Structure 1
């Protein structure tokens, strides 16, 4: 099982990444002022057993995050069907893209960083005809201090336009230190609207965030039951969501650029964990966009690329 370990030797922060299962960063120990924070939640046997790469660590979701309704969409007059068994399904919809459950190729690595690549026609040739164009996705994970950064690049390596959406699905472990309690962790996201959902699929309408799911002032984890797509994140160049462990005086902050216009917040049942998932588009964007709805679907022309970054940092909370 090919695992890459990267570390910041000055702080002791360290991360482990599985090449075999989607370049999934399944552990990140951030060290700040001598305090060690085990940030990412994954089963002890992952990735050795290969089970549920979508349910552990930081799954990378591409060329579509979340669901495509009924696994069917139309692009430039051609209908595509994503067959169950070739791609993952959930409740009748194709889910989470083509990259999270296949091996990636390591391009380069050193002590504190690793760059890997996924090319659809090379790394998942059985899925190549399921998407309108071939693509290359590159991710470089690096650690500096107590910050884990993912620098991402999407490249259209085909001679046809490439529609795409990108997301990550990180499982954050609670509490942030063993002496605390998950219920004392405050979850924050500055979002004023949500997409209205029907069986986890957007209807195309947006609504104001209901009071019981409003995270703008923070909400305690034990009061939350979420599987929601937040939007209306503001017009800042840098956006963030965070988890603060009040007892520990520590927070984990996830920061990303304005290309990420949606965040899915999900509390997986029966786990002291929460998913804070930045997306460049809403669920089922490739279908919604065809209906004239601004769903955030991106399109790259042949030879074009797009670069963006997500950073996860462990920080002391200053009173």
Structure 2
């Protein structure tokens, strides 16, 4: 049998978690999804292009098993809002809302509820072409959820492994009687197999983003500018010594994957070694955060359905992608990652 699965009992950060392991024997590939830690796809491992064995395409903090910091490893899910809400304060339908001030400055709310909570396992499914696992989180699973989010919600996420492909599909539903405000993001940390000791200097990145949001203290002012100079990744550019923590937008729904119909968002490669990782998404993912953590061993390419602080910017009349889902409604969206192990080195064409 090409695809197999198992459920392991693991512990990280002092908290036990079922871990669903998906395997592709022909690839070979291996995926770990940690239910007890935000349904995080912590590992996606593929065949090592230089020797036998597997190599990671996602970065995992070496201290994961001791600390399990929710948004510093793997593929964290950010819901019902990605990134920050200024002062943790926003207004819904005329009623002020207050969220915990849990970013690093303790001045803003960050990354919703989903990455910090255990999820329920709904199903494990497979056929001849793929294998998948589905998890669920609802507002009732959030401590003090009714006071923290004004409308009930349910989110299902399905992680599917197929030949050199990983897809993350989310279905958001509104079981309430009033419109559900929401935004969704992912915070994956990518590494190229050819990185030496985590060195990003020869890793190459290209994105579809044509504009960049002005940020002050990591929060958008509502002003955008066309990408220019070192901020322009529309052509392949070496990461070199770039220190990124930027919110990009204006992602055109142009180039599509002919098989999935999803739109191209970014490609990660290496200037000297084969292998490229392509990200495609549903059109609702209209923003992209690029982030190089201080350890410089990975780059985060984060697709968002809305900007940082979207709830407040939308209230100020800005077009930022903040969503309102009608009662009984649902939204299905997909992020697709394709690993091309034999693709030619990604030679930079833009100056770094």
Q: TM-score interval w.r.t. the shorter chain?
A: over 0.9
Shift of the 59–182 alpha-carbon distance from structure 1 to 2, 3 Å rule, reads: same
With 35-44 and 64-73 compared, the bigger mean Cα shift is at 35-44
- Out of 18, 26, 30, the position equivalent to 1:2 is 18
Alignment: residue pair count: 314
The one of 73, 76, 85 equivalent to 1:59 is: 76
1:108 corresponds in structure 2 to 123
Q: 1:247 aligns with which of 272, 279, 283?
A: 272
> Counterparts of 1:6-155 in structure 2 under 5 Å?
6-31=22-47, 36-46=54-64, 48-84=65-101, 88-91=102-105, 92-110=107-125, 112-121=131-140, 123-155=141-173
Note the residue ranges of structure 1 that are not aligned, 5 or more in a row: none
Confirm or deny that 1:209 pairs with 2:224.
no
Give distance in 1, aligned partners of 2:181 and 2:137. 16
Contact 1:132 1:160 in 2 (8 A): no
After TM superposition, the score normalised by the length of structure 1 is: 0.93
Q: Return closer, same or farther for 1:83/1:240 CA change in 2, 3 Å cut-off.
A: closer
Check whether the contact 1:239–1:257 (CA below 8 A) recurs between aligned residues. no
Instruction: Give the Å deviation of 1:211.
Output: 0.6
Name the counterpart of 1:282: 307
After TM superposition, give the deviation of residue 90 of structure 1 in Å: 3.1
What is the match of residue 210 of structure 2?
Answer: 192
Whole-angstrom distance in 1 between the partners of 2:270 and 2:45: 16
Deviation of 1:248 (Å): 2.0
For the residue of structure 2 that corresponds to 1:212, the secondary structure is helix
Q: What TM-score does the superposition give when structure 2 sets the normalisation length?
A: 0.84
2:163 and 2:209 map into 1 onto residues whose CA distance is: 29
SS for the counterpart of 1:27 is strand
Q: Secondary structure at the match of 1:80?
A: strand
Tell which has more relative contact order, 1 or 2 (C-alpha 8 A, sep 6+): 1
Structure 2 counterpart of 1:157, from 175, 178, 182:
175
Alignment check: 8 A CA contact 1:11 1:32 kept = no
Alpha-carbon distance between aligned partners in 1 of 2:39 and 2:150, rounded to the nearest angstrom: 23
Structure 2 contact 124–133 (Cα < 8 Å) conserved: yes
Is the Cα contact below 8 Å between 1:194 and 1:229 reproduced in 2?
Answer: yes
CA 34–308 in structure 1, closer or farther in 2 if over 3 Å, else same = farther
Q: Please, which of 297, 302, 305 is the counterpart of residue 327 of structure 2?
A: 302
The equivalent residue for 2:259 is none
**How far, CA to CA, are the matches of 1:276 and 1:128 in structure 2?**
32
User: Per-residue CA shift, 1:3-34, capped at 9, x if unaligned?
Assistant: 11012232111110110110001110123888
Instruction: Give the secondary structure class of the aligned counterpart of 2:36.
Output: coil
> Which residue of structure 1 lines up, in the alignment, with residue 349 of structure 2?
none
Aligned residues of 2:20 and 2:33 also touching (Cα < 8 A): yes
**SS of 1:20 mapped into structure 2:** helix
Is the 1:174–1:272 contact (alpha carbons within 8 Å) kept by the matching residues of 2?
no
Aligned-partner Cα distance in 2 for 1:95–1:169? 12
Q: Quote the Cα distance in structure 2 between the aligned partners of 1:180 and 1:105.
A: 33
